[in-house]
Structure 1
Amino acid sequence: MQKRLILTAGINSTGYLADSWRHVGGSPFVFAEFDHYLRATRIAHAGTLDAVFFQTIRRSAPILRSGRCTASSR
């Protein structure tokens, strides 16, 4: 029996690095843009990944409304 390696990508809506939005061309609001997820999925598909998982965090909206987009708000 041949074993198969299954490759996946996980996309976290609030990001993995608190200050990554400060990168040139970055935005703290990219998680709200459909095109962001579409681009990420296309990159995963081009890399022949088997699945893409999307994580949503319900508390993101209140953090953005309060204007607190920092690591301490997580």
Structure 2
Amino acid sequence: MLELRPNCECCDRDLPPESREAMICTFECTFCTDCVGNVLGGRCPNCGGEFVQRPVRPAALLAKYPASTKRVLKAEGCAPVRAA
């Protein structure tokens, strides 16, 4: 089950469970659409993977399966993934 992390790891923007602005990679690294498109060039700075829109968990299931409250923020800031 997805963690549904509460914020963008780059800019710390709030990304509530119902947000359509949340993007994730295969490791569930979570970033907002602005950072993915304007800072990261569409690639995860942690793993180099691609992003997809994070699905929205139905509100009726959030009580039983709540979103994560643990905020993750890249201490060193965000930079685009460099091609090898």
TM-score higher than 0.5: no
Larger Cα-atom Rg = 1
The TM-score with structure 2 as length reference comes to 0.29
Q: TM-score, normalised by structure 1?
A: 0.30
